[in-house]
Amino acid sequence: MIEHMFEWSDAAHGGSHPARVSRARTGGPGAARAPVVPGPPAPSPVEAVLGSAVERELARMVDEVFVPDVAWFANGDRARAAVEPAASLAAELDAALPGPGLASRLVALEPADLDDHTLVEVLAAWERVAAWAQAGSARALAELLERTRGSAEHEFTVDGVAARLGMTRHAAAQLVTVAHGTAGLPEVADALATGRIDRRKAETLIATGRLPDDRRRAAVREVLPEAERLTVPQLRERLRRAEIRIDPDGAERRHHAARSERFVRLEPVDDAMAYLTAYLPADDAARVLAAVEQVAVPMHRTPGETRRLDACRADALVGLVTGDLTPTGSVHGSATGPATGRRPGVQVTVAASTLLGADDLPGLLAGHGPVPAAVARALAADPDATWRRILTDPATGVLTDLSSRSYRPSPALRAAVIARDITCTFPGCRVPAWRTDLDHLDPFDPDRDAPQTHGDNLHALCRTHHRAKTLGGWHVTHDPATGTTRWTAPTGHQHDRPPTIADPAHRPPREEGPPGSTAEQQTGPPPF
């Protein structure tokens, strides 16, 4: 704690004593020093530099608090690590904040001597240290950008970074984005420096959407408590939802402006192949994909079919666009084909209050994410649209239950589970729920005279994570009260997948971090 107070004091005063802090770190947790022995301590290099009695006393306290343990690791003595119980070591690493002390501790560990559970914590700890170092890199680059602001050099700072680091200008520009953004959003800078997010998540928080700075800060504060457990695509979706909720009129204007830029392009590539890229409004793109899926999925399931599903999708797209296939999958002029007899459809979830015009909450377009209220209303107003009422728990926003005594869920129950889960329920998996298996959490017992096929016992699993549950040693439980699915790995790690909120009006309670959990208070400014 003394270390953190000392470095925080420097940061709070704008880094006015760089030489003093530099010398303090030289004698601190990153240095190889002999352990402190009993008796009057000899003056450290820090004390030799600092002039006042108060500063000398503070330096001695800093040394006494953390130097002995770190010096022991720097000297390469692994005896303590060898006898330290694995559980306590894993817990220690899990709780450790990134910085020079944690880096030294990790360097001294021998991966071959650790159990699986601890190895995962070592990996996570190294990633936090990497994020902390990236925060230091961003601070340095932000200072460089500030020094060149207003000059002709400013435009080409990114080129200097690219040349020095041996990277493309685009990659260097991403570093500039993070540096500039963290300077303006201290919450993101703190999260990066404490290892709660990595550089990709920081860039997502900074660059997703087109909100003005003041409203972006509100959106970032809304999603930041969940950022550590979210993947980058999930974090981007949460930001877009917050963006629409915070600035619905602006979201609508930006959608109309972006819509005018739609295009279709052909990009030739090797082996006589090409990419056909379409930039479309999200609702149009969802309809196109639904039409392709309606033809491709039955095509893939035809007995004797050897093409991959992706290849069937590509062939279905070509057939539909060129007119060789009908929307039902039949060849033009032929009565054969995997006809489905129904029009391709998309799923959008929208609050009744939004449909009635009482508010402008974002709709949730399956396969895409949040869309402005006007887009959701247009989809719902389609003359051929089928409306399905979805009841949600007012406290949690989670879809309520339906049940059945049969093994296979009814069409209504299946639709309800798909609408609830949105994607596969493995943490971070993005496979759409309509493409997954509906798995019984507790295996179905035909001899049991009670409903087993109900929402609390069903969840969507893609084939990969269905196999992980069945064959890979993963254990899954579901909490009906909160809607949270908990996955327990073979290593014993537990990972929660919170429910997808079906009610667009619901906002989960904000999680507050522990007191004094900012980067400056706990880790000091990197780099080490």
197-218 pLDDT tens trace: 999 999 999 998 888 878 888 8
Q: Span 209-230, mean pLDDT?
A: 87
| Phi, psi values for residue 488, rounded to 5° | -110, 120
Q: 303-352, pLDDT tens digit by residue?
A: 999 999 999 999 999 999 998 887 765 655 444 444 444 555 677 778 77
Q: Which two tokens stand for residue 137?
A: 């890199």
Distance of alpha carbon 384 from alpha carbon 274, whole angstroms:
35
Query: Is residue 447's pLDDT more than 50?
Result: yes
What pLDDT sits at residue 399? 57
Average pLDDT for 467-493: 89
257 token code pair: 């402006």
| Other CB atoms within 10 Å distance of the CB of residue 515 | 7
> pLDDT for 159-181, tens place per residue?
999 999 999 999 999 999 999 99
| pLDDT digit string, tens, across residues 386-420 | 666 655 555 555 555 444 444 456 677 777 788 77
pLDDT band at 520 (very low <50, low <70, confident <90, very high): very low
Average pLDDT of the residues in 10-16? 37
> What is the structure's pLDDT at 395?
53
Per-residue pLDDT of 80-127, as tens digits, reads 444 456 678 999 999 999 999 999 999 999 999 999 999 999 999 999
Banded model confidence at residue 361, pLDDT cuts 50, 70, 90: confident
Count of helix runs (H) and strand runs (E) in the chain: 22, 12
Alpha carbon separation from 190 to 132, 173, 193, 226, 234 (Å, rounded): 9, 21, 5, 15, 21
Residue pair 373/360 in contact by the 8 Å Cβ criterion: yes
| Per-residue pLDDT, 168 | 95
pLDDT category at 527 given cuts 50, 70, 90 is: very low
251 vs 400, more confident: 251
Mean pLDDT comparison of 29-38, 226-235, 396-405, 410-419, highest-scoring range: 226-235
Radius of gyration in angstroms for the set of CA atoms belonging to the chain, rounded to a whole number = 28
Give me the mean pLDDT over the 250-258 stretch.
Answer: 90
Say if residue 527 is preceded by a cis peptide, omega within 30 of 0: yes
Residue 360 confidence (pLDDT): 83
66-75, 297-306, 511-520: range with lowest mean pLDDT: 66-75
pLDDT at 71: 33
Q: What is the mean pLDDT of residues 282-309?
A: 90
Residue 349 sits at φ, ψ, to 5 deg, of -105, 125
What's the pLDDT at 106? 95
Task: Give ∠ CA 106-199-424 in degrees, rounded to 5.
Answer: 95
Cα 221 to Cα 179: distance, rounded to the nearest angstrom: 19
What is d(CA 257, CA 130) in angstroms, rounded to the nearest whole number? 39
β-bridge pairing 363-365 and 348-349: antiparallel
Between 47 and 390, the more confident residue is: 390
pLDDT confidence tier of residue 131, bands split at 50, 70 and 90: very high
Q: State the number of CA atoms in the 13 A half-sphere of 29 facing the CB.
A: 25
What tokens does 263 get?
């295009």
374-386, pLDDT tens digit by residue? 888 888 777 766 6
Query: Mean pLDDT lowest for which of 63-67, 257-261, 316-320, 327-331?
Result: 63-67
Highest mean pLDDT among 38-52, 56-70, 78-92, 508-522: 78-92
**Cα–Cα distance for residue pair 155/172, rounded to 1 Å:** 13
Phi/psi of residue 516, nearest 5 degrees: 70, 35
Q: Where is 359: in which H helix or E strand?
A: none
Strands (E), 183-272: 263-269
Closest CA to 428 of 204, 289, 191, 236: 236
In the structure, what pLDDT confidence band is assigned to residue 25 with cuts at 50, 70 and 90? Answer: very low
> In CATH terms, is domain 125-259 a member of 1.20.58?
no
pLDDT at 365: 82
Percentage of the residues of the chain whose pLDDT score is greater than 90: 38
User: What share of the chain has pLDDT > 70, as a percent?
Assistant: 67
pLDDT for 507: 58
pLDDT of residue 349: 78
Domain ranges for the chain, please list them.
125-259, 263-322, 348-381, 411-497
Phi first, then psi: what are they for 195, rounded to 5°?
Answer: 80, 10
Q: Which residue has the tokens 């969940």?
A: 226
The pLDDT value recorded for residue 201 is 95
Enumerate residues 6+ apart whose C-beta is below 8 A from 404: 410, 413, 451, 453, 454
- Predicted confidence at residue 505, as pLDDT, reads 56
CA atoms within 13 A on the CB side of 38: 0
Contacts 24+ apart (CB under 8 A), 496-501: 496/229, 496/427, 497/425, 497/426, 497/427, 499/396, 499/397, 499/398, 499/399, 499/420, 500/420, 500/421, 500/422, 500/423, 501/396, 501/397, 501/398
Mean pLDDT over 462-473 rounds to 90
* Mean pLDDT in residue range 418-433: 86
Q: Scanning the structure block, which residue is given the tokens 């082996």?
A: 271
H or E element in which residue 240 lies: helix 232-246
List the single range of 18-32, 101-115, 424-438 with lowest mean pLDDT.
Answer: 18-32
| Residue written as token pair 């060149």 | 148
Residues in the chain: 528
Q: How far apart are CA 504 and CA 358, in angstroms?
A: 13
35 has pLDDT over 60: no
